[in-house]
C-alpha cells in the first residue's frame, strides 16, 4: 500500500490517492474493498490509465489488478477463454495464439488492460464485429459489499435459463442483467477478478492502407464497409486527403478496386499485430457513436464545420469506424449498428473549443459518447440516450449500495440530477 501521484497516459488527468494497492490475487481485492467500505472510503479500479476522462480519479483507494494477468483456461470447442483482468491487450493475442485462439477484434491501439478496455466499451472497426465488451460472456467480480460473485457462463447461465430465479446474483439481480451490465460498467459495479470471453480460432489479416482524396471515400463508402471485414478511414482536414485502411483474412478477400492514390503500406500477419496502430505522440480525443449511415451525413457536416471553423488549429485527423450492435446496457452500440466519428488533437495543441463546438453536431445525430474520451454530458442527458439506463442503475445500486465505487465523475455520469460531467481532469 502506497501513496503516489497518478497521471494518465495523455497527462490530462492527475491526482494523488490516499493509498494505492496492487492486488496479487482475488483475496486481496476482497480485502481492499471490505476495508474501504468499513472506513467509509471509496475504491477506484485502475488499468493502464488510457482514459482521457477522470474515471479512476480518487482521493481514497486506487486499486490495481495488473498482477492478475494471463490466460487461466480455454475451451476451444465452445469458443471461450477465461483471462485475468490485468492482462495487457498487447500480450493477450500472443497468449491466446498458444491455444490456437484469437480475439474477434481489437481497437485502434492495444495499450489497455483487458478489464479497462471492456469496462469503457473499447472498440475496433468492422460492420459485423462488436466492441470488445460484447465478447464478455461471464466472469467474477468483487462487489461494493466485498463479495466475489460470478455471472454469465461462470455462473452456469445458458440461453435456456436466462432470467430464471435459480440464476440470480446479490439483491435479486437476474444473471443475464448482471452480465449485460458488466459488459460496459466503468468500474461502477465492482472489480473484475476473472473474465470469460468469446473467442475464435487463431487467424491472420492482410492490411492495405491507401492514401486518396476524401471525395473518393464518400462516393464508395457503402461498398467498402460491406465488402471488407474491417474498414476505416482517417480524414486529414488540412489536405482533404484520406487514409483508407482495408483488412481481410487472406483467402477471403473481395476483389479490390484500388482507389486513385497511393498504396502507403501493406502487411500480413497475426491479427493481434496487424489491427492495432502505434501511437507515440500524446493526443486528446472526442468520439461519438452514431447510428450507421453509409451516406456519411454526419461526417459530411463535421467536415464542413471543421473546414469552416477549425482547420487552422486542427493538427491531427478525424477517424471514422463501424461497429455492430450489441446488448450491453451502457454500450454506446446498444441496440443499433453504429459508426463512430473521432476527433483527434495533439495534446500540445488546444482542443476544448474545437471539441465543444463539434459535440452538438454529434448529439443532433443521436450520438452517444465514448466513455473513456472527452465529452460534456451528465447523467440526465446520458439517460435519455440509453433505452436500458434504469436497468443498469438498478444493478449498480444493488451490487454497490453504499457507493464504494463512485467518485465525483461517476456520480455526474451515473446519478441523475448530479449535473454535467467534467470534461478534463479533477
Measured between alpha carbons, how far is residue 382 from residues 270, 273, 330, 359, 390 in Å? 38, 35, 10, 14, 11
Q: Are 195 and 80 a contacting pair, CB within 8 Å?
A: no
Question: Alpha-carbon distance 248 to 179, whole Å?
Answer: 31
Can you give the pLDDT at residue 10?
78
Question: Alpha-carbon distance 273 to 281, whole Å?
Answer: 19
The set of residues, in sequence order, having a beta carbon less than 8 Å from that of 5 and lying 6+ positions away, is: 14, 15, 16
Can you give the pLDDT at residue 257?
82
Can you give the pLDDT at residue 170?
53
pLDDT digits (tens, 9 = 90+) for 325-372: 999 999 999 999 999 999 999 888 889 999 999 999 999 999 999 999
Q: Are 336 and 293 a contacting pair, CB within 8 Å?
A: no
Measured between alpha carbons, how far is residue 414 from residues 115, 226, 319, 366, 395 in Å? 19, 36, 28, 19, 12
Can you give the pLDDT at residue 173?
57
Give the residue among 131, 80, 111, 155 at the shortest CA–CA distance from 330.
Answer: 131
The set of residues, in sequence order, having a beta carbon less than 8 Å from that of 179 and lying 6+ positions away, is: 136, 137, 138, 151, 152, 157
Can you give the pLDDT at residue 283?
85
Q: Are 201 and 102 a contacting pair, CB within 8 Å?
A: yes
C-alpha cell at position 90:
498487447
The set of residues, in sequence order, having a beta carbon less than 8 Å from that of 242 and lying 6+ positions away, is: 211, 212, 213, 214, 216, 217, 233, 234, 235, 236
Q: Are 73 and 82 a contacting pair, CB within 8 Å?
A: yes
What is the enclosing helix (H) or strand (E) of 389?
A: helix 389-399
Buried b / exposed e across 300-331, counting CB within 10 Å, b at 16+? eebbebbeeebeeebbbbbbbbbbbebebbbb
Indicate the pTM of the whole model.
Answer: 0.92
Question: Alpha-carbon distance 108 to 18, whole Å?
Answer: 33
Q: Which residues of the chain fall short of a pLDDT of 70? A: 1-3, 157-175, 279, 418-426
Q: Are 245 and 320 a contacting pair, CB within 8 Å?
A: no
Can you give the pLDDT at residue 20?
94
Q: Is the dihedral of CA 34, 35, 36, 40 positive or negative?
A: positive
Amino acid at each position: 500500500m502506497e501513496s503516489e501521484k497518478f497521471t494518465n497516459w495523455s497527462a490530462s488527468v492527475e491526482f494523488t490517492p490516499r493509498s494505492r494497492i496492487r492486488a496479487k490475487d482475488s483475496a486481496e481485492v476482497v480485502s481492499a474493498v471490505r476495508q474501504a467500505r468499513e472506513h467509509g472510503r471509496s475504491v477506484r479500479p485502475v488499468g493502464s490509465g488510457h482514459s482521457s476522462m477522470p474515471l479512476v480519479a480518487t482521493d481514497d483507494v486506487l486499486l490495481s489488478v495488473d498482477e492478475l494477468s494471463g490466460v487461466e483456461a480455454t475451451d476451444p470447442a465452445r469458443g471461450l477463454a477465461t483471462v485475468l483482468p490485468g492482462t495487457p491487450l498487447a500480450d493477450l493475442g500472443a497468449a491466446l495464439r498458444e491455444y490456437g485462439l484469437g480475439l474477434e477484434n481489437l481497437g485502434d491501439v492495444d495499450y489497455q488492460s483487458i478489464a479497462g478496455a471492456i469496462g469503457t466499451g473499447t472498440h475496433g472497426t468492422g460492420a459485423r464485429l462488436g466492441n470488445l465488451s460484447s465478447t464478455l460472456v461471464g466472469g467474477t467480480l468483487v462487489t461494493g459489499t466485498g463479495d466475489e460473485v460470478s455471472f454469465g457462463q461462470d455462473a452456469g447461465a445458458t440461453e435456456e435459463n436466462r432470467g430464471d430465479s435459480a440464476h440470480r446474483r446479490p439483491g435479486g439481480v437476474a444473471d443475464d442483467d448482471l452480465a449485460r451490465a458488466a459488459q460496459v460498467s466503468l468500474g461502477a459495479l465492482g472489480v473484475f477478478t476473472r473474465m470469460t470471453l468469446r473467442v475464435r480460432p487463431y487467424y491472420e489479416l492482410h492490411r492495405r492502407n491507401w492514401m486518396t482524396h476524401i471525395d473518393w471515400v464518400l462516393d464508395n463508402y457503402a461498398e467498402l464497409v460491406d465488402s471488407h471485414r474491417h474498414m476505416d478511414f482517417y480524414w486529414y482536414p488540412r489536405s482533404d486527403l484520406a487514409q483508407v485502411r482495408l483488412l481481410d483474412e487472406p483467402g477471403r478477400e473481395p476483389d479490390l478496386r484500388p482507389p486513385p492514390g497511393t498504396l502507403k503500406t501493406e502487411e500480413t500477419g497475426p491479427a493481434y499485430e496487424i489491427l492495432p496502430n502505434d501511437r507515440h505522440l500524446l493526443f486528446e480525443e472526442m468520439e461519438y457513436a452514431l447510428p450507421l449511415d453509409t451516406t456519411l451525413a454526419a461526417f459530411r457536416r463535421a467536415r464542413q464545420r471543421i473546414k469552416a471553423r477549425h482547420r487552422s488549429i486542427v493538427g491531427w485527423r478525424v477517424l471514422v469506424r463501424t461497429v455492430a450492435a450489441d446488448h450491453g446496457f451502457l454500450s454506446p452500440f446498444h441496440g443499433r449498428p453504429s459508426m463512430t466519428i473521432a476527433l483527434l488533437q495533439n495534446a500540445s495543441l488546444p482542443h476544448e473549443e474545437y471539441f465543444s463546438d463539434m459535440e452538438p453536431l454529434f448529439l443532433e445525430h443521436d450520438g452517444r459518447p465514448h466513455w473513456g474520451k472527452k465529452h460534456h454530458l451528465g447523467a440526465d442527458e446520458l439517460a435519455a440516450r440509453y433505452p436500458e439506463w434504469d436497468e443498469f442503475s438498478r444493478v449498480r445500486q444493488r451490487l454497490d449500495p453504499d457507493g464504494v465505487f463512485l467518485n465525483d465523475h461517476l456520480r455526474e455520469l451515473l446519478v441523475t440530477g448530479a449535473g454535467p460531467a467534467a470534461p478534463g481532469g479533477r
